[in-house]
Amino acid sequence: VSILKAKIIHVNAGAGYDIHIAKGVIDSAGELAAAVTRSRRAAIITDSSVAELYGGRVKKSFEAAGFEAPLFAFPAGEASKTHATLLAIYAFLARSEVTRADMIVALGGGVPGDVAGFAAATWQRGLDFMQIPTTLLAQVDSSIGGKTGVDLPEGKNLVGAFWQPRLVVCDPDTLGTLDSENISCGMAEVIKHACIRSRKLFDSLKAHDRIDGNIVETVMANLVIKRDIVERDERERGERMLLNFGHTLGHAIEKLLDFRGISHGGAVAAGMALMARASERNGLTAPGTADALDALLAQYGLSADCGLDIGDIVDAARGDKKRSGSDINLVLLKDIGESFVYRLPVDRLRPFFGV
């Protein structure tokens, strides 16, 4: 596949960068990287599963473009998004003599993206990094916007940095090897983007039963929605909060279930559904919105009901980091495709949800 066929979305954040989207473009990753860096050393950081599937191809592509391309893989999964992995990555970077003039390449889903991105933000006080997202979630969401970080035993994503990539190479063909659970996880974020910003995307998701047929267009529509929000509010001081739709309750659900028995996407789906239902009841959301959302979630294998008691979820949500003082910021839908931040005193949270 020629890189000339790739669609390009420019993101005006950090130093400014392009996202190249095309089926097969992963094999041109090295060539594209060579155009944005003078360095000829690219440290590829990935997880064990992605290394097996795509590590060889990506390494080959960088080597063909004249890079030295040492590769480091850590065990796949969220459990690896820790300081222990970060330390192992630093040791690898030291061994590979990676300097500030070189480049880090994050290959994989949101976990390699977040942890390798944080390594790039901190190694020798920061070096260029590039994202090659291979999960739907990473392609439509986590690979752009510059949020990087690791989890702590005390909570997810507690340590991190804003560090924008220099380049994103997004190959929808890689989604062909992703299991249905991870596709659903990504779909929760796709549906979130449609809910907060685009009725057109919402309707197009309704019209197709699966995303395979128009995957490039779907990924692009999502990237444009996220790009526009990030460009206007890189550091999440206002508008970027809209991207948290469904996440305040979603995180509470994950916490209550101890991050087992429900996927992140499943929790976000239930969080969105509960929020839409409650705000509709409070007269803040157009009637029928919650039903339309539930139906679309079901269409993509996501359930509006996580089986937990709403009172318990609301109580768990009170500790969310999106709290500011005695208020909590809720992201609500005015209608499908339109969203706003609603500030609510924490002690009004239970009545808002009718508990």
Ligand X SMILES: NC(=O)c1ccc[n+]([C@@H]2O[C@H](COP(=O)([O-])OP(=O)(O)OC[C@H]3O[C@@H](n4cnc5c(N)ncnc54)[C@H](O)[C@@H]3O)[C@@H](O)[C@H]2O)c1
Stretch that binds ligand X, among 23-31, 111-119, 163-171, 196-204 (CB under 6 A): 111-119
Q: Which is nearer to ligand X, 181 or 347 (CB)?
A: 181
Site string for ligand X, 50-79 (x = CB under 6 A): x--x----------------------xxx-
Minimum distance, C-beta of residue 182 to ligand X, in the bound complex (Å)? 5
Minimum distance, C-beta of residue 48 to ligand X, in the bound complex (Å)? 7
**Which CA distances in Å does 126 have to 16, 110, 223, 268, 287?**
16, 20, 25, 32, 48
Minimum distance, C-beta of residue 215 to ligand X, in the bound complex (Å)? 13
Task: Select the residue interacting with ligand X from 26, 29, 43, 47 (CB under 6 A).
Answer: 47
Tell me: does residue 114 bind ligand X (CB under 6 A). Answer: yes
* Strand order across the beta sheet in which 103-108 lies: 7-11, 17-21, 167-170, 128-133, 103-108, 42-47, 71-74
Tell me: does residue 272 bind ligand X (CB under 6 A). Answer: no
Q: Which is nearer to ligand X, 116 or 349 (CB)?
A: 116
Check: CB of residue 135 under 8 Å from CB of residue 186: yes
- Structure tokens given for 214: 């128009």
d(CA 250, CA 269): 7
Check: CB of residue 245 under 8 Å from CB of residue 339: yes
Q: Which is nearer to ligand X, 53 or 310 (CB)?
A: 53
DSSP state of 327: E
Task: Select the residue interacting with ligand X from 14, 49, 340, 341 (CB under 6 A).
Answer: 49
Residue 261 identity (one-letter amino acid):
G
User: For strand 147-152 and strand 155-162, is the pairing parallel, antiparallel, or unpaired?
Assistant: antiparallel
3-state secondary structure (DSSP) of residue 56: helix
Stretch that binds ligand X, among 49-57, 59-67, 162-170, 252-260 (CB under 6 A): 49-57
Contact positions with ligand X (CB under 6 A) in 123-182: 134-135, 137-138, 141-142, 145, 147, 156-157, 174, 177-178, 182
Q: Which is nearer to ligand X, 59 or 147 (CB)?
A: 147
Residue of 138, 137, 117 whose CA lies nearest to 129:
117
Q: Could you give phi then psi for residue 327, rounded to 5 degrees? A: -110, 160
Check: CB of residue 20 under 8 Å from CB of residue 32: yes
Chain position whose Cβ is nearest to ligand X: 110
d(CA 73, CA 89): 9
Site string for ligand X, 89-108 (x = CB under 6 A): -------------------x
Size of the site for ligand X (CB under 6 A): 29
Which residues bind to ligand X, rule: CB under 6 A? 47, 49-50, 53, 76-78, 81, 108-112, 114, 134-135, 137-138, 141-142, 145, 147, 156-157, 174, 177-178, 182, 185
